[in-house]
Amino acid sequence: MSEPWDPAGFKDRVDTLLAGFLAAEAEQLLAIDDVLHPLAEQLRSAAAHGKRLRAAFCYWGWRAARQPDSDALVRAAASMELVHAAAIVHDDLIDDSPLRHNRPTAHIALQTALVGRPQARAAARSLAMLVGDHLMALAGQLFTTSGLPAAYLARARPMWADLARELIAGECLEILATGTQPDADVSLKIVRYKTAKYTVEQPLLIGALLAGATPRLRAGLSAYGLPLGEAFQLRDDLLGLFGEPERTGKAGLDDIRTHRPTALLATAWQTALPAQRERLAGVLGRRDLTDAHLRDVRELLTALKAPEQVENMIASRVREAVSRLNELPMSPPARRALTDLARSATDRHH
């Protein structure tokens, strides 16, 4: 139980596992009909990127309960990355985002298979929606065929239902709030349900439940996971507008163009004077934005100290999360790993 945490080695394990699993599933699709090749390619590439944070949190939820390393557990933990892959496909579709990891998003890439077809754009969006649905189903398949005992899996099954319900609720809350006047309370609720829970808290709890963790440990992991998950998404909000697209892999104006209810924009709106609100309202939701608009919005938000306020929100949540670890009965390696993960999840550039 005293071996050092090797994030790169863990990532390699998860990468290899997911690549093999999705390649096999792609072959199953092609066995049905070769015309499904574009969808098979989207499956193969769906989980090709990422730091594997969700899998890592699931793994350390298990290890925090003093269970040993296990290939079956890593397989179960990797299913968290397929949940994320499904959420990305759906999220990009909802937001009509053109880029992810500097590559065309699924609904954009699938248009190439439909060139010359009537209503190719609508058909590509429908295909992407089905790819996302299939990835969510595959997450459940990978989890249930992980090789862990059925009794272990049964302990975690209710948390899977919570994860799916709350992730969908968060997406729906964001859709319903998009285009409305920015509201900090609404934005933070979306942060919690759309991202924070399924990124940190629920993977941790699924790992802990699989391991048979005590209620005390599970409560402590939840108290660590929820503020950390919120800090993760708040960092994402900042990077979405102030990050370098070459590093983030996303279009820098997406949040402004779609008038998305981010906490960053809500914070700026809350502190803005009427003339500044008018200036911000003049760009929110516009489809013809340029780099000049991006510079203008960045300048305005910086003047309002919105990035600074969000940085403070991130720092306070990370401190709260890490402080919770000191109260929990877990091994020193688990405590060190979860402390390191708190930093790497929130101190990032993409």
Per-residue pLDDT of the chain (350 residues; tens, 9 = 90+): 456 789 999 999 999 999 999 999 999 999 999 999 999 999 999 999 889 999 999 999 999 999 999 999 999 999 999 999 999 999 999 988 888 888 899 999 999 888 888 899 999 999 999 999 999 999 999 999 999 999 999 999 999 999 999 999 999 999 999 999 999 999 999 999 999 999 999 999 999 999 999 999 999 999 999 999 999 999 999 998 998 877 666 667 888 888 989 999 999 999 999 999 999 999 998 889 898 999 999 999 999 999 999 999 999 999 999 999 988 989 889 999 999 999 999 987 65
Length of the chain: 350
Domain that holds residue 63: 7-346
Q: Which pTM was predicted?
A: 0.93
Asked if 177 contacts 219 with a C-beta cutoff of 8 angstroms, the reply is: no
Domain assignment present for 183: yes
What does the alpha-carbon distance between residue 27 and residue 30 come to, in Å, rounded to a whole number? 5
Domain assignment present for 191: yes
Number of domains present in the structure of the chain: 1
Domain assignment present for 88: yes
What does the alpha-carbon distance between residue 237 and residue 313 come to, in Å, rounded to a whole number? 12
Domain assignment present for 1: no
Domain assignment present for 173: yes
What does the alpha-carbon distance between residue 39 and residue 41 come to, in Å, rounded to a whole number? 5
| Region for residue 348 given its phi and psi (left: phi exceeds 0; alpha: psi -120 to 50; beta: otherwise) | beta
Domain assignment present for 2: no
Domain assignment present for 171: yes
How confident is the model at residue 1, as a pLDDT? 43
Please report, to the nearest 10 degrees, the dihedral formed by the alpha carbons of residues 310, 311, 316, 322 taken in order: 130
Output the domain CATH number for residue 219: 1.10.600.10
Domain assignment present for 334: yes
Task: Decide: residue 216, CB within 10 A, 0-12 exposed, 13-18 middle, 19+ buried.
Answer: exposed
CB atoms closer than 10 angstroms to residue 247: 12
